[in-house]
Amino acid sequence: MHPATYSVLLARLDLCGARRIKGPISRGLSARAPYFHNGSARTLLDVVRFYEARFGLALTPQQEWDLLAFLSSL
């Protein structure tokens, strides 16, 4: 296939939205407990603490509450 033809095809796919990747929806997050595919996190605080442990984050209690407030506001 000629490179120009390939570019036109990609542009058409972009216009149709065929190449878009949908991410998870964060709207109304606080009302959709339990969390994770298996329901293992009952609260958003459980989710925050899971990711803290998983990625070695060291959030202060104030940072945890700020993050929870943000996530709850979505």
Distance of CA 19 to the CA centre of its chain: 18
Bigger pLDDT: 17 vs 61 = 61
How confident is the model at residue 72, as a pLDDT? 93
CA 58 vs CA 11, 18, 51, 54, 61: distances in Å = 44, 39, 10, 11, 10
pTM for the whole structure: 0.65
How confident is the model at residue 24, as a pLDDT? 74
Spatial separation of the C-alpha atoms in residues 50 and 64, rounded to whole Å:
12
Exposure string of 25-35, with b = 16+ CB inside 10 Å and e = fewer, is eeeebeeeeeb
Spatial separation of the C-alpha atoms in residues 30 and 20, rounded to whole Å:
26
pLDDT tens digits along 4-56: 665 665 566 555 555 566 677 788 989 999 999 899 999 999 999 999 999 99
pLDDT over 70 (residue 59): yes
